[in-house]
Each structure stands twice: as structure tokens, then as C-alpha cells.
Copies of this chain bind each other. A is one copy, B any other.
Amino acid sequence: MESKVPDPVVAIAGVTGAVGAEFITTMNRRGFRVRRLKALASRRSAGRTVDFRGQSITIEELTEDCFDGVDIALFSAGSAASRAFAPAAVKAGAVVIDNSSAFRMDGNVPLVIPEINGRRIAEHKGIIAVPNCSAITALVPLWPIHRNNRIKRMIIATYQAASGAGAAAMQELVESTRANLEGRRFQPKVLPHPYAFNLFSHNTAIDPATGYNEEETKVIKETRKIFEDERIAIGITCVRVPVLRAHSQAITFECERPITEDEVREILSAAPGVRIVDHRIQNYFPMPVDASGQDEVLVGRIRRDLSDPRGHSISMFVAADQLLKGAALNAVQIAELLPERVPA
């Protein structure tokens, strides 16, 4: 007989952001049971309300003192906020599921994609980190291949949506495009470059030692931590494209042993969190408009990498909703697996 575990009190830190909103829609969609929701944001938003399951919830200011009685705290308010307030949440007894990069590489913090390493959740010491959205998008389909035939090397080029830079960046893409179509000048405020009908290298700082930007470095480091394989060689170029909310990637990977596209298709057909969209005759492959609002990583263009004559390499093209599997969904999936919620 099941012992009764009470429904958790859940706090959302960053409830007014693009991911914050998707925490709520995702919990609703999945029937995630909640005893009470605390809606937290910066002082600027405090006093406003959000709707949650028919209730209007007043947003409180995110402070060190706001986590009393909270069981699960979903953080998506940026790294600085996570660093400042996640320890207080843990101290108050909450489990923090953090969408920022603040704690991802901390040896005491599990970095979890449930389809890959959900078993690490049980090892948490108060904080569990959600990986970078580009890492999640690539790794969900690469993991089942890697388990079958170790991936030695991957080369990735990303096509990243505005949503990765937050709700204000999505708005800037819309507003700057509208201005462009109306022949008006537009001064970017959120992103450093014009966004209308344009693209640019990912807007994070470049490491002077390597020339790689922070987004690229995150994917490299997080992949090694999640796959528990420090030897994987990764080359990656991260680019922001004028798309609203789904990230795409061109991925080429090399396995230890020869691999065929049929083997990859077979492995991915059975892979959790993956949907194959690979219609050569109709020229129909993963697209951001189709990935938006979807839980799965769409995978297509699965084919032999013609630049590897040994037949160890495959190329493919993927797309996934950055706000869902790249952030909110992955966090809620982790919350669903918390040992505190599963009766022993």
C-alpha cells in the first residue's frame, strides 16, 4: 500500500520570465500536484499577480527570507539570483532545481537530464542543476547513441532562438522586425546587434584563451559531466538566429566503431524524449515552428558524414523547444523524480 506523501509547496523564482511562465504551463499540462505556489520575482514585479489553476497569486519579492515552508524551488531568474538566493532556499529546507549556470559545474550538484542521468537526482545535497539548453538539445538524442557506440568527437553548429536570451529578447526580435518592415530605425537594447532578418555569434563573453564563447564552453563542460566522459572531444559554434523559441543544431559526431544511419535511426526510434522527423522525399525535417510547444527533441537529416571515409561518423539536424525541454520541462521532470516525493 502506498504511503501518502503530501503535495509539495512549490516556489518559482523568476516567475515573470519566459521560463517562469513555462514552469506553470508545464506543471499544469503534466498534472504536477502542488499544495501551494509561491510566485517570486524581483522587487520590480512584486505586487503584480500571476494566474495559477484558477487562483490569482500575488508575486512576492525574491529574498533570502521567502522560502519558509517551501518544498521545491524552481529557479530561473539568472545566475546572480541563483547564487544569491538558492543557498537560503536550501537552508529553509527546499530542494532547488536551478535553471541557471550558477551551480552546474559544482561537484556537489547533480547536472541532470532525466532521460540520461535521472539516477543522479537522489545524490543531491539541496540543489539540482538543469543543463544549458543547447547541451540538452544535443545530448537527449546523442546519449542513446553514445551508450551503444561511444561518441569520441562531435562538431556542432547551433541556430539559437531569441527565447534563450529571455522574454525581453523575444520582444526585441518582434519589435525590431516590425520596425524593419515599416522602414523605421530600431536601437537594440537587450541584444548587442540588430536582430531583424539578421543573425550573430552568441552574445556571451569570449574566453581569450580559446576563442570560444561562454555558451560554447558550457556545452563542452556540461556534456562531459552529464555523460561522465571527460575525453569526449567537442567543437561547437553557437549562433543566434531570428527565430522565437526553438533551438536547432547541425550535429556531426564520430563513434569509436563504424556506425550506419540505419543503426542511428533504430536507436533513436526507441529513445525517450526523441521524435524522428526525417522525410527525404517530402523534404520535411526538424523546424523550429514544429518544435515549438513540443516536449521532444525532433531529429532528422540522419545520414552518413561523407567527410569520414571510415564510416564512423553521422550528421543530423535537431530542433527542440528551448523553453520546454531546454528549460522548464527538464526542471519539472526532475521535480517529478525527487526522492522526497516518491514514497520509499
Contacts and interface: CB of A to CB of B under 8 A. Distances in A.
Contact of A304 (B211, B242, B281): B211
Interface in A104-159: 153-155, 157, 159
A317 interface: yes
Contacts of A211: 261, 280, 301-304
Interface stretch (A6-14, A170-178, A320-328): A170-178
B198 A307 contact: no
Pick the most buried of A193, A203, A206: most chain B CB atoms within 10 A of its CB: A206
Interface of A: 153-155, 157, 159, 173-174, 177-178, 181, 192-194, 197-201, 203-206, 208, 210-213, 220, 233-235, 237, 239, 241-244, 248, 250, 252, 261, 280-281, 283, 285, 287-289, 300-309, 313, 315, 317
A157 B157 contact: yes
Contacts of A159: 159, 199, 239, 241
A237 B301 contact: yes
Contact of A234 (B157, B234, B242, B307): B307
A193 B283 CA distance: 10
B200 A285 contact: yes
